[in-house]
Amino acid sequence: MSLVDGKCIPCRKGDPALTDAEVTELLPQIPEWELIEVDGIKRLQRIFKLKNYVEAVAFTNKIAMTAEKEDHHPLIVLEWGRVTVQWWTHVVKGLHKNDFVMAAKTDDIFE
């Protein structure tokens, strides 16, 4: 099953973050995303370029609706013609497969 067809599963305290090997295996499925680290916590990040502010807002709203449906929410920075999205899982203090699923869904929304 492709990531975009996946569903987010509820995470609980104590669930493990993905290993470096698992992250390395999943990253090629979302090639536009970069792996970053903030305060020692790995995140997925992508910067999307749009034509203007209204398109950026519309894209942000589509991400928000999908995030709400999947009950997994990103950090979104909205600017004129640009939206930066970061996915990670707070409860595992790192990356979970849900983050890759949502990154793929975000790419799908953008296309």
Instruction: With respect to residue 11, please indicate whether it lies within any of the assigned structural domains.
Output: no
User: Which of these, 97, 76, 86, 87, lies nearest to 11 by C-alpha position?
Assistant: 97
Structural domains in the chain (count): 1
Placement of tokens 């790419």 in the chain: 107
Structural domain boundaries, residue 68: 17-110
Q: What is the pLDDT of residue 66?
A: 97
CA distance 64 to 41: 23
3-class state of residue 103 by DSSP: helix
- Per-10-residue mean pLDDT of the chain, 111 residues long, equals 90 92 97 97 98 98 97 97 97 96 98 93
Residue keyed to tokens 């790192």: 94
Residue 47 lies in a domain: yes
Question: Across the beta sheet with 75-79, what order do the strands follow?
Answer: 34-38, 41-49, 82-87, 75-79
In a domain, 57, yes or no: yes
Residue 9 falls inside a structural domain: no
Inside any domain, residue 98: yes
Q: What is the CATH number of the domain that holds 63?
A: 3.30.1360.20
pLDDT score, position 18: 96
Residue 5 inside a domain? The answer is no
Tell whether 8 is covered by a domain. Answer: no
Q: Which two tokens stand for residue 100?
A: 């890759």
Residues 102 and 59 sit within 8 Å (Cβ to Cβ)? no
Which burial class, exposed, middle or buried, applies to 99 when counting CB atoms under 10 A from its CB (0-12, 13-18, 19+)? buried
DSSP state of 75: E
74 lies in some domain: yes
